[in-house]
């Protein structure tokens, strides 16, 4: 459980958890998860050398097709979930 005063300070400051690739159901982290990058099967493009490809996206990227992965979100933000508002 977070310190209630800390949670209130975050709320008062307008802090919130935003929907990013890292909390999306379709995003897959790269094998080297420390890189901060992953793949998005929703955003496809024709790679100049190899044909069709999924777009590489950073974990803090955002797009309109975001589908929240609630278990992943809870694992990342835990007790601060109420700062997420409506995702």
The predicted model scores a pTM of 0.76
Mean of the pLDDT values across residues 71-76? 90
DSSP type of residue 78: G
Q: Which domains does the chain have, with CATH numbers?
A: 4-84 (4.10.490)
Burial label for 15, CB within 10 Å (0-12, 13-18, 19+), is: exposed
Which tens digit of pLDDT belongs to each residue from 20-38? 999 999 999 998 878 899 9
C-alpha radius of gyration, the chain, whole number: 16
Average pLDDT, the chain: 88
pLDDT band at 3 (very low <50, low <70, confident <90, very high): confident
């Amino acid at each position: 459980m977070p310190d209630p005063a800390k949670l209130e300070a975050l709320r008062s400051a307008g802090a919130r958890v935003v929907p990013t690739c890292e909390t999306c159901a379709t995003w897959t982290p790269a094998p080297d998860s420390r890189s901060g990058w992953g793949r998005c099967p929703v955003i496809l493009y024709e790679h100049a050398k190899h044909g069709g490809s999924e777009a590489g996206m950073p974990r803090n990227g955002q797009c309109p097709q975001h589908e929240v992965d609630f278990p992943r979100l809870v694992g990342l933000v835990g007790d601060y979930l109420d700062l997420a508002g409506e995702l």
